[in-house]
Structure 1
Amino acid sequence: MKYFKFLFLLLLISSCKNETKQDLITTPTTQQQELKYAEGFLVTNVKNYKLLTIKSPWPKSEKVFKYVLISAEEAAKTTFLKDEYDGIIITPVQKIVATSTTHIPALELLEVEETLIGFPGTDYVSSEKTRTLIDNGNIRELGKNEGINTEVLLELRPDVVVAFGVDGTNKSMETIQKARIPVIYNGDWVEKSPLAKAEWIKFFGALYNKEKKADSIFNQIEHDYLDAKKIASNSTTRPTVLCGAMYKDVWYLPNGTSAEAQFLNDANANYLWSDTKETGSIALSFEAVFDKAQTTDLWLSPSYYSSYEALEKSNAHYKQFSAFKDKNIYTFSNTTGKTGGVTYYELGMARPDLVLKDMIKICHPELLQDYETTFFKPLRLTDKTD
């Protein structure tokens, strides 16, 4: 009887050992790359490939996308189930199509801008470095983002198209995917904080096997941002701030949880609608804004208006605001590239440290006396040119 008990125990131990060994063989080792702020994507190292997961490609998205990032050598000896993934991408990427100007700074910071072969609306690109590539014919014009020229794009045969979507319905991207060209929806713009948006450089780092470089770049941006925030906290004054302007009969302003509101809070400014929790922009009447902000100290980003003259022409009541009377209105609309692209829309998301310094310079000029703003400039008096 003792013999049978011993034999049973021996078989049980042996079975457990074999099961553990099998688990180690079939279960791949995984290691998630560090993200400090961004919530919309993940990069996980899985054996001989990386798994890129896009969790928030657009607001309120219920769709999660998964992509395999793998070298050509490893791809040749590895089989993946097609239904499990939304794309298999060979890395490092050699040819890419981007669809938003916000993607361009990441490519330049990682020094891979020469891999960009197509872009919709090249006139919107402000960067001199990428503009040179466009002018030299290295980057093809792909028409409008809403109706991208799929014929030219398919001719280019990029390794990947980095797109952005408002709701996931894009017929052009569906056509591209049917041609077996991977499409990744980049959700950097969905993130809620400036540093979270900037951290998407690590998304591009994964595509080019430049994770260490991407980490180093982001860490420096984060350091400079937090250092500027600390400088701003030393001010004993908090100027009141108004944003936006009327569009038809509605005044749109950033809500209190937006990245724009966080910039102002970190600049130690008193944004008058900082306590709002709405999703998206706040929509108010002129009267509601005027009642609260008539005597505000500063007015930032008055929509697309480029001068006091244009602002007054659109609505004579704007003259009644103290910021208008005192000429304390600032805009980024007039800071453009040589073909008219607004620099803020391209570089602002990637370099929140520069945006914050701009706001500190405007709100507390004594704290950054030698600093010259990158994006925000005083609103021009008129649009007349000599």
Structure 2
Amino acid sequence: MYEPKFTTKVIILFNLFLQKLNNLTFDGMMKKSSFGLVSLLIFTLLFTSCKEKKSELALKQNPDTPSIQYAQGFSIEKNADYTVIRVVSAWPGASEEFSYALVPREKLASITLPSDAYDAIVPTPVDRMIVTSTTHIPAIESLGALNTLVGFPSSDLISSTEARKRIDEGSIRELGTNENINTEIALEINPEVVVGFGINGTNKAYETLKLSGIPIVYNGDWTEQTPLGKAEWIKFFAPFYQKEAVADSIFKTIESSYKEAKVLAQQALDKPTVLTGGLYKDVWYVAGGNSWMSQFLKDANANYLWKDTEDTGSIGLSLEEVLTQGQKADFWFNPSLHTAYEQLENANPHYIQFGAYINRKVFSNAVRKGETGGILFYELAPQRPDLVLKDLISILHPDLMEGYETHFFSPLQ
């Protein structure tokens, strides 16, 4: 038996009502206008109900999209058939938006997507992936998908113990450098997708691989300016492996750990002053007031001397400017890549004028390295901001975290 659609039922009921209204006698005409208002009200209610039914249907057809709370550089849209990842900040100042369709393998044959609608179409779950930044490694490893990594440029920079084992076994191939990837090797290992890192939209190797039918997907995790914003890019990788729930759980744990540490830092009775950076040739680069590092120091309850600047990256200053403002700073973090006081003095004799140098309160994130020289901080810190914050709190407010062993920062030797 044919069952009218909801919208058809609305029209039928409304027409019946109008017929009754038109059949009113002359004596009832005075009431007709009132009936007209009632009819309008009923139609409005019915039409609203219709729209609500459509909304309910839409929700059933389009499951909830993964929530992105802190990251500004990407978004995820999920429907019943496939997932779309949009990257709006592949590099600083990027004006181009990239969109990627991730389609489950079992649905590839039944779904037709216009090739010009997306910058790449990737079957999932991915079995063979190339990534190009060490910041990608911890996310993939946390998702239990390190076995899918088959190639990496400048693999000596990787610190992960498990990843290094796969490199030694030949499971992860060396690809040269990100700016000049060895496309012959890349084509030979036949990845299903290359997750690219770029400072602009120009990379000839990427173009070559793309023309060969290999999807290129840009990841802009490094452009995020907040600790939790960077960490949330684990959700970018999750759809490639159909592990969204796993990524959400991992991120919630990191978020909770970070927030707890931040609350703990507020218990400190003092707010030590902090200097950052060091000289490169004749320019001293300090972290800007809206930078990633500045946010860490703020959350660690420190008085960062350049916190009021608006820069999101580094600020280039003269030695004289830094001496004027930072000579009496209580702590000094990340003096370029120097890891020993003797190195500092040899690099520039003016370094010894700083109070943090005199009082041995200089700390570096470049001391701890992987077995082939990769700096652990640059690889793991973006994924584990909670550990970075706890390191800083233990250094700045040692009474709040007695016995804590740092993961990234070490005193200069």
* Shared fold per TM-score greater than 0.5: yes
- Tell me how far 1:192 sits from its aligned partner: 1.3
Give the secondary structure class of the aligned counterpart of 2:83: strand
Q: Say whether residues 1:210 and 2:261 are aligned partners.
A: no
- Tell me how far 1:47 sits from its aligned partner: 2.4
Give the secondary structure class of the aligned counterpart of 1:218: helix
- Tell me how far 1:227 sits from its aligned partner: 0.4
Q: Say whether residues 1:38 and 2:71 are aligned partners.
A: yes
- Tell me how far 1:191 sits from its aligned partner: 0.9
Equivalent residue for 1:74, pick from 107, 110, 113: 107
Instruction: Tell me the residue number matched to 1:255.
Output: 288
Instruction: Tell me the residue number matched to 1:132.
Output: 165
- Tell me how far 1:32 sits from its aligned partner: 2.4
Q: Distance in 1 between matches of 2:63 and 2:222?
A: 28
Equivalent residue for 1:220, pick from 240, 245, 253: 253
Q: Say whether residues 1:188 and 2:215 are aligned partners.
A: no
Q: Distance in 2 between matches of 1:66 and 1:230?
A: 38
**CA distances 1:263-294 after superposition (whole Å, capped 9, x unpaired):** 00000011000000024211110000000111
Equivalent residue for 1:164, pick from 197, 200, 213: 197
Instruction: Tell me the residue number matched to 2:305.
Output: 272
Equivalent residue for 1:147, pick from 166, 180, 188: 180
Instruction: Tell me the residue number matched to 2:391.
Output: 358
State the number of aligned residues: 370
In structure 2, runs of 5+ residues without a counterpart are 1-13, 20-42
- Tell me how far 1:36 sits from its aligned partner: 1.2
Q: Is the 8 A contact 2:335 2:364 kept in 1?
A: yes
- Tell me how far 1:6 sits from its aligned partner: 6.2
- Tell me how far 1:157 sits from its aligned partner: 1.1
**CA distances 1:196-246 after superposition (whole Å, capped 9, x unpaired):** 000000111111100000000000000000000111000010111000001
- Tell me how far 1:368 sits from its aligned partner: 0.6
Amino acid at match of 1:379: L
The TM-score normalised by the length of structure 1 is: 0.91
Q: Distance in 1 between matches of 2:157 and 2:198?
A: 18
- Tell me how far 1:22 sits from its aligned partner: 11
Q: Is the 8 A contact 1:154 1:176 kept in 2?
A: yes
**CA distances 1:104-143 after superposition (whole Å, capped 9, x unpaired):** 0011111110100000111111111111111111100001
Structural mapping, 1:41-52, within 5 Å: 41-52=74-85
Structural mapping, 1:291-310, within 5 Å: 291-310=324-343
Q: Is the 8 A contact 1:30 1:44 kept in 2?
A: no
Q: Say whether residues 1:324 and 2:352 are aligned partners.
A: no
* Runs of 4+ deviating beyond 3 Å: 19-25, 27-31
- Tell me how far 1:30 sits from its aligned partner: 6.2
Q: Distance in 2 between matches of 1:154 and 1:100?
A: 19
Amino acid at match of 1:274: K
Amino acid at match of 1:168: G
Larger helix proportion of the pair: 2
**CA distances 1:333-378 after superposition (whole Å, capped 9, x unpaired):** 1100111110001101000000001100110011111210001000
- The higher radius of gyration belongs to 2
Q: Distance in 1 between matches of 2:361 and 2:218?
A: 39
In structure 1, runs of 5+ residues without a counterpart are 381-386
Equivalent residue for 1:85, pick from 118, 121, 138: 118
Q: Please, what is the CA RMSD of the aligned residues?
A: 2.3
